[in-house]
Structure 1
Amino acid sequence: MSAPQSPVDWGEVPDPSAIGKPRREFDGWRVLRIVVCTFGLLSLAFWGYLAWPFPMPGILFMIGAPVFAALVWYLFRSEASPIETDVVGKTIVEVALVVAAGACWVSIGHPVVGLVFILVAALSGVVQFRREAR
């Protein structure tokens, strides 16, 4: 049984259970963005583990570097940022964090991984900024 309809409404009657629920579509670029951010944070943690002597400075850098990067990302780059930042500021923050994660790989002796990460992150960043500019 369908809901009563005005004689002026000529379109289809929407499903009442679907009203107010956003439709989620698969977004491959968003998945890539999440993978890039996660890999960047894991790269900083891995660098802290390999580049610094364990236990004391190693643990500090292994935990501190990704936490610091995530905090900077949240404060200046995320959509829920409490600090209003323009496009140039967001770009500077993103480039600095991506280069830092790529440099971690170079410093531990894997420059190809660092270069590939920087290129994939740059592609992901360009697509994200184009979407935000709409």
Structure 2
Amino acid sequence: MNDRTPESLPKIGVNDVLRFLLELFAFVTLAVWGFVAFPLPWPGIAIGIGAPLVAIVLWALFVSPRAVFTVDAFGKALVEIAVFTATAIAWWTMGQPIVAVITAVVAAVSGILNGRKELAD
């Protein structure tokens, strides 16, 4: 039997969906950056696999809804800033400054909205 009623389910808003898409975009970007910006096979393969893996582990440990370690909103924000800054820098170093700036602005606005929501709760 399912004991989850509609009232007990978490409310998922537009910013939650945007944040999820930003996470996926960051992980894919870091992989592409590793494979494109560095010579293959080494260190390109190592960075192409390692950079998104580090970001995924950090996100899972500190930021995700089921995070391993419970940290306050500021701790989560530091991890988010690190991941999204790395994403923007990756785009910048790949010669795509417009994508880098758009990524940084969208991530910052989404993070600010999420932080305000977390601090209000």
Once the two structures are TM-superposed, the CA of residue 123 in structure 1 deviates from its matched residue by: 1.1
CA RMSD of aligned residues (A): 2.0
Matches within 5 A, 1:5-44: 20-22=4-6, 27-44=13-30
Query: Larger C-alpha radius of gyration, 1 or 2?
Result: 1
Calculate the TM-score normalised by the size of structure 2.
0.86
Please list every run of 5 or more consecutive structure 2 residues that lacks an aligned counterpart in the other structure: none
Question: Counterpart amino acid of 1:93?
Answer: V
Secondary structure at the counterpart of residue 101 of structure 1: helix
Shift in Å at residue 83 of structure 1? 1.4
Deviations 1:67-113 (A, max 9, x none): 11010111122221221212221111111111011000111111111
Unpaired runs of at least 5, structure 1: 1-18
TM-score, normalised to structure 1's length? 0.78
Matched with 1:103 is 89
Q: Which runs of at least 4 in structure 1 moved beyond 6 Å after TM superposition?
A: 23-26
- Give runs of aligned pairs for residues 1-134 of structure 1, distance below 5 A: 20-22=4-6, 27-133=13-119, 134=121
Cα distance in structure 2, aligned partners of 1:68 and 1:59: 14
- Equivalent pair of 2:73/2:118 in contact (CA under 8 Å): no
Q: Secondary structure at the match of 2:43?
A: helix
Q: Distance in 1 between matches of 2:110 and 2:60?
A: 18
| Structure number with higher helix proportion | 2
